[in-house]
Structure formats: structure tokens, C-alpha cells
Amino acid sequence: MLHPLDYLLLALYLLLLVGVGVYFARREKSIERFFLAGRKMPWWAAGVSIFGTQLSAITFLAVPAKAFSTDWVYFLVNMTIIMVAPIVVYVYLPTFCRSKITSAYEYLEQRFNVWVRVFGSMAFLLFQMGRIGIVLFLPAITLATATGMDVTLCILLMGVLATLYTALGGIEAVIWTDVSQVIVLVGGALVSLIVITFAVDGGLGAIIRTGIAENKFQMFNWTWDATADAVWVVLIGNIFANMIPYTADQAVIQRYLTTPSEREAARAVWTNAGLTLPASLLFFGLGTALYVFYQEYPSLLDPTIHHDGIFPLFIVHQLPAGVSGIVIAGVFAASMSSLDSGLNSMATVTVTDYIRRFRRGPGGDELRLARWLTALFGAVGTGTALLLAAFGVSSLLDAFREILGLFGGSLAGLFALGVLTRRANGAGALAGAAGSAILLWFVKDQTEIHFFLYAAVGTISCFVIGYVASILIGNPPGGMPGRLTGTERKQ
């Protein structure tokens, strides 16, 4: 159980996050500021926020658990983020920044038609709802197992508080709380690694020697088997998997749009990529260090606990009072940094792509509506996490990546069609999305292909089917293929 000092520090940290929301609530006087911070956010803050959004509790808990139970094969997953960064900066970013959009899916209407926009925004909303449930459920269930805290209480604390400060402070509160949460999250992991290093007989050298002797640092699985986590499966699959958030996910693209210029947005992307390598070394190293620690002190390991609960177990029982509270705050931060981003981006998409786009007559108070939508999505996401808590998932990291590949592949394919081709049109794009969904269903249901490849299958099939269908259907007369004219498109 946690020491009272730990509970006090955790409570203070959570109250601080709400205080940030209250502070920025006074500055949110327009819908533009609530969604895009007036396009005046510093590039480094936007970059750290992107990093925190993608890091989440999935990394903070599940990556050390994966390294503890297996090896470093998944390390290459994070390295593909660095590979994707130049593509984002030089190919996609100019299009997003010059389009002067609020929602990424506005671009799909500009390039194709309104139905492609509706499909893209709806796919995003469905994916985000599932993602929110997982990033709330993961830390809650593991914290409950390791600390004795009630899982429902953990979910409610994170869900309610993140919803509150996001609804109050908008994107500015989200970005600045993400910055603080990344500091707490990474600092907590670093402190834990230092404590383990001093606790293990022989220190860092012993951890490295044991890891090498027991093949815990293996990164490459040399096989052509498409059902295994072979090196080519990991690299190809996750290059496409990481194209999804960085080229088709409003929660990430919205960070680009909060910066003053394309150059500043590019710096934000490079900041996120630059943080990926040291963070990956830290979290995978932590997993290996935990393995060595419990090899040396097996009596301290609860044999009934699931691997995803290994790190929280160490935090609660091996870190000094006070330090445990700060690191547990990092676990909460990991979840809330993804939750707040999802809530704000979902409200942005709903207002921009549906209410504003299809509204007839004069508009109402969009700022108030955005806040109410944020609260609604927070309630639904929290409810989803409570439902997930009633079911078991063998590996939460794997479950998340499977959902990412299934839901995001066709969406990334649509953006690739728009940005990389001129002959693709709206009807062809929709055909590509439909064909991709059917093919992905077949692949998942009828084959044993590794889930890492779902994103590649979805993206490539959407692009190829969409391009071929566009050629067969033909382009509409005049203008960019499949694009509405300014008078046809309602702003």
C-alpha cells in the first residue's frame, strides 16, 4: 500500500493539473483559441505535447512490461517514428499548414468531397473513443493490482480530472499540462532505473551482463515468417502504423496547427522525433533492469501479478515514500496526457466537421458547445474504460497496436491519396476506403498475419484501390480531381 505522503503528493499533482485548466479558462474567449491557441504556441511545447500524447500509459507501463517478459524486439517500433519524421515534415506538413484548416478532415473535403471528409472524421472519432478507453484502463487496472486502490476510483480520478481541465482550458491547457506530465513521467522512470541500478549487486554492469547472457537485448528476429515479429514485419508494419497518427490523426495534426508557421511546426515534429530515442532507451532499459532485479530478489515478485503490473508493483513496494507518490503521479500523467488530447481533438472535429459544416442558419455559442462536447466525450470515454475493466486483455500494448492498424490504415491511405496524387477523386477515395476495410476484415479473420502489418495492409490497399478506382471512374470536369469549388463548399 502507498504511504500517506504518497497519496498527498498524488493529490497535489492532480489538483495542480485542474488549476492549469482554471487558469487558461480565463483566456479562452474564442473558439479559435480553444481549438488552436490562436496559432501562437511555442514549437518546443507543441513538440513535447506530441511526444506526451503518443507516449501515454501504453509506453510508461506496457513497454517496460514487454521488455521484462521478452526482449527488445519492440524497440524498433519506436525507431520507425524517427524514420517517419522526414516524410511528415517535407511531404505532409506543407499541405496541412498552407490549407489553413482547423480539422485535418477539412483537407479531405478540399481535396475530394464532403463524403470523404465525413468518412475520415467519423473513423477518427470511433478510433479515439476506443483509444481513450485503453489509455484509461491500462494504468487503472495495473495500479489497482499493485497498490490495492480501487480500479473504478482510479478510472474516475483520471477521467473526471482530465475532462475538467480540458473542458476549461482548451488546447492551451492540454499542451502545457502535457509538458509537465512528460517531465513527471520521464523523471519517474529515470528515478526508478537509478534505484534499481543501486539495488542490484554489481549495478549497471551486472544489469547489462545479465541482459546479454539471457538474450534480453535481442532486437532482430531474422525470419521471413509474416506471422512472427520478424525484423521486416516490425519495421514495415510500424512505419505505416506511425504514418497514421502523424499524417491522419487530428490529435497530432492539431499540434502542428497551433504553431505560428510551417517552420515552427516542423521544429515541433523534429522535437518529438528527437525525444524518441532517449525515451525508448530509458523505458526498454527499465524493463530489462526490472527483470534483473527480480531475478536477484525473486521473493519480492508477486507470481500472481500480470506483467503489465510489474512496474507499478516495483514503484509501490521498492521506492521510498514520497518518491513512490511522484512516480505514481507519472502513471496518472501518462494516461491523462493522451486522454486530454483525445478529448480536445474530438470536440474540434465534431464542431468543425459536423456542426459548423452542416449547420443551417446563424451559429450559436460554439465555445460553450465545445466545452460541453469535451465533457460528453470524457464521460463516454470514462464509461468505456469502466467496461474494459470488466474484461481481460492478454497484452494491452498488442491490443492497442491491433486497434491502431485496423482503424487507422484506411484513414492514412486517404491522406496519402490526397497529398501524393492528383488523379485520385472523391468517388475513388471512398472506394479505396471501403475496399481497404473489407480486405482488413479478411486478413484479420482468415489469416494469421502479424497485427503489425494491419496498418500497412490498410494504407496500401486504400491507396492502390482508390487510385485505380479513380482512373476507372474518371475525373469531374474542371478543377482539381474530386474537389469542390469554393461556392459549392460550405465554410
DSSP string, 365-411: -HHHHHHHHHHHHHHHHHHHHHHHTTS--S-HHHHHHHHHHHHHHHH
> Which grid cell is 274?
528527437
Tens-digit pLDDT profile for residues 324-343: 888 888 777 777 887 888 89
Which residues does 197 contact at the CB level (< 8 Å), separation at least 6? 203, 204, 207, 289
What pLDDT is attached to residue 478?
40
Q: Which value, in Å, is the radius of gyration of the alpha carbons in the chain?
A: 22
More confident residue, 445 or 70: 70
Burial of 82: CB neighbours in 10 Å, binned 0-12, 13-18, 19+: middle
User: What's the maximum distance between 2 C-alpha atoms anywhere in the chain?
Assistant: 75
DSSP, collapsed to helix, strand or coil, labels residue 484 as coil
SS3 state of residue 194: helix
Model pLDDT, residue 482: 40
pLDDT, position 259: 95
Helix or strand (DSSP H, E) at 438? helix 426-446
> Hey, how many other C-beta atoms are within 10 angstroms of the C-beta on 217?
15
Give the integer Cα–Cα distance in Å for 258 and 98. 13
Instruction: Give CA 448 to chain center in angstroms.
Output: 26
Tally of CB atoms within 10 A around 363: 11
> Cell numbers of 108, please?
479531405
Lowest mean pLDDT of 169-178, 460-469, 477-486, name the range: 477-486
CA distance 383 to 371: 18
Query: Are 181 and 337 in contact, with CB atoms under 8 Å apart?
Result: yes
C-alpha 12: how far from its chain's center? 26
User: 189 pLDDT exceeds 50?
Assistant: yes
Cα(164)–Cα(185) distance, integer angstroms: 21
Chain Cα centroid distance, residue 342: 8
Supply the pLDDT for residue 400. 56
Contact between residue 46 and residue 259 where contact means Cβ atoms under 8 Å apart:
yes
Specify the pLDDT at position 481: 40
Q: Mean pLDDT throughout 136-153?
A: 77
Provide the pLDDT confidence category of residue 392 given band limits of 50, 70 and 90.
low
| pLDDT at residue number 475 | 67
Model confidence at 484: pLDDT above 50: no
Q: Please write the tens of the pLDDT for every residue from 451-473.
A: 888 889 999 999 999 999 999 98
C-alpha cell read off for 110: 478540399
Count other C-beta atoms under 10 Å from residue 472's C-beta.
Answer: 10
What would the mean pLDDT of 112-121 be, rounded to a whole number?
94
Distance CA 182, CA 188 (A): 10
For residues 135 and 116, give the distance between their C-alpha atoms in angstroms, rounded to a whole number: 28
pLDDT over 50 (residue 11) = yes
Query: How many residues belong to the chain?
Result: 491
Which pTM does this prediction carry? 0.87
Cβ neighbours of 261 (radius 10 Å): 11
Confidence label for 150 from pLDDT (cuts 50, 70 and 90): confident
pLDDT tens readout for residues 393-412: 545 555 555 555 566 788 99
Q: Say whether pLDDT at 371 is over 90.
A: yes
- How far is Cα 324 from Cα 333, in angstroms, rounded to an integer? 14
Could you give the domains of the chain? 4-393 (1.20.1730.10)
